[in-house]
């Protein structure tokens, strides 16, 4: 059999990610209110940030994890879109002057730069709310028990305890202070890791995964979630705004604790690789159908944006 080169594998994954992102974009378009509906400005702002591109990594993880365990894209898509809505809300709020104060996101002016602060705050609130409207509107595979589990999983990941909002608070409170390695890992696992892990686990819940399978998915999700943020810290030092579509060097300027700042670039790269290897080995326990999850784990640290 002809060996598949690393280059072909990368091209193959790239095509997969682009195709899945396009599916997600079509579904998102149908799941947020149209701009012609009042309040038009708010709906325009929601769509401006949501439809601005982005890798769609989290929704693709919902789809890929769920399909690896036998769920259909149709059953997975509403939850995949709900995760992306919450992710986008967090980006809009993170960019506000009261938080990270950024001008550029997904290659265009941030929501508050385009629509003003009040509308940006409300667009974020509205995307968070819309996520739960979507999740509560249909039960995946007609199973209300799974539906409630998905809602709980996503709400918990977006919440305060070792989750999105809690991690953001710790991040803000850590600015200009000495943050040690353990505190930094807590911030990364909460602010970034929780939603990525939840994306993977939600795919499993919708597929009706067994408790063992869910714990394997959770381990995979935890490892790639942390690796994703370590890679983001590295890109903040090494990338350009053209490549990233946001302002690099911000962490350094804000004197934020990051992996490179605490551990150095080489050790950070090595740690990210170890995390990805553990994720690949965890996904291996799910059998050959999990090969896309393994490829995505590699992409997490190979990406340039």
Contacts of 190 (CB under 8 A, 6+ apart): 162, 163, 164, 166, 167, 170
Is 196 a residue that touches ligand GRG (CB under 6 A)? no
104 SS3 class: strand
Q: Which of residues 66-95 bind ligand GRG (CB under 6 A)?
A: 87, 90-91, 93-94
DSSP character for 175?
T
Q: Which of residues 4-63 bind ligand GRG (CB under 6 A)?
A: 54-55, 57
Alpha helix segments (H runs only) across the chain: 6-31, 40-50, 57-68, 73-95, 111-115, 117-137, 144-157, 164-174, 181-188, 194-206, 211-238, 241-244, 250-253, 259-263, 265-284, 291-302
Given the complex with ligand GRG, which of 69 and 134 has the nearer CB atom? 134
Smallest gap from residue 275 Cβ to ligand GRG (A): 15
Strand partners, 104: 109
Smallest gap from residue 57 Cβ to ligand GRG (A): 5
Contacts of 2 (CB under 8 A, 6+ apart): none
Smallest gap from residue 10 Cβ to ligand GRG (A): 18
Instruction: Let me know: does 179 contact 257? Beta carbons within 8 Å.
Output: yes
Smallest gap from residue 190 Cβ to ligand GRG (A): 9
105 SS3 class: strand
Binding residue for ligand GRG (CB under 6 A) from 45, 63, 119, 164?
A: 164
Binding residue for ligand GRG (CB under 6 A) from 49, 64, 130, 168?
A: 168
- Residue 85 structure tokens: 């809505």
How many chain residues interact with ligand GRG (CB under 6 A)?
16
Binding residue for ligand GRG (CB under 6 A) from 110, 192, 278, 295?
A: 192
Is 106 a residue that touches ligand GRG (CB under 6 A)? yes
Instruction: To the nearest 10°, report the CA torsion of 156, 178, 229, 102.
Output: 90
Given the complex with ligand GRG, which of 207 and 299 has the nearer CB atom? 299
Smallest gap from residue 12 Cβ to ligand GRG (A): 20
Smallest gap from residue 102 Cβ to ligand GRG (A): 8
Smallest gap from residue 276 Cβ to ligand GRG (A): 16
With CB atoms as reference, the residue minimizing the distance to ligand GRG is 54
Q: Which of residues 235-294 bind ligand GRG (CB under 6 A)?
A: none
Smallest gap from residue 25 Cβ to ligand GRG (A): 12
DSSP character for 207?
T
DSSP character for 193?
I
Given the complex with ligand GRG, which of 43 and 93 has the nearer CB atom? 93
Is 108 a residue that touches ligand GRG (CB under 6 A)? no
244 closest CA partner among 96, 55, 41: 55
Residue numbers of the site for ligand GRG (CB under 6 A)? 54-55, 57, 87, 90-91, 93-94, 106, 164-165, 168, 191-192, 229, 232
């Amino acid at each position: 059999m002809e060996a598949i080169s690393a280059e072909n594998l990368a091209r193959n994954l790239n095509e997969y990610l682009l195709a899945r992102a396009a599916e997600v974009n079509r579904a998102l378009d149908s799941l947020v209110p149209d701009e012609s509906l009042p309040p038009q400005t708010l709906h325009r702002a929601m769509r401006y940030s949501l439809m601005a591109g982005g890798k769609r990594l989290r929704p693709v993880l919902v789809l890929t994890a769920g399909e690896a365990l036998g769920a259909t894209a149709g059953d997975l898509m509403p939850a995949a879109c709900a995760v992306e809505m919450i992710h986008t809300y967090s980006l809009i709020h993170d960019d506000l002057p009261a938080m990270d104060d950024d001008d550029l996101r997904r290659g265009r002016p941030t929501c508050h730069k385009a629509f003003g602060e009040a509308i940006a705050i409300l667009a974020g609130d509205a995307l968070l709310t819309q996520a739960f409207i979507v999740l509560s509107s249909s039960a995946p595979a007609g199973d209300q028990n799974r539906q409630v589990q998905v809602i709980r999983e996503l709400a918990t990941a977006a919440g305060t305890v070792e989750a999105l909002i809690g991690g953001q608070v710790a991040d803000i409170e850590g600015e200009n202070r000495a943050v040690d390695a353990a505190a930094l890992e807590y911030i990364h696992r909460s602010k970034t890791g929780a939603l990525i892990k939840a994306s993977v686990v939600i795919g499993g819940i919708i597929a009706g995964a067994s408790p063992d399978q869910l714990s394997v998915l959770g381990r995979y999700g935890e490892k790639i979630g942390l690796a994703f943020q370590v890679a983001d810290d590295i890109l903040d030092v090494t990338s350009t705004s053209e490549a990233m579509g946001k302002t690099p060097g911000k962490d350094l300027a804000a004197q934020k604790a990051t992996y490179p700042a605490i551990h150095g670039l080489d050790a950070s790269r090595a740690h990210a690789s170890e995390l990805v290897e553990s994720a690949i080995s965890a996904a291996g326990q799910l059998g050959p159908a999990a090969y896309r999850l393994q490829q995505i784990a590699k992409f997490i640290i190979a990406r340039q944006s």
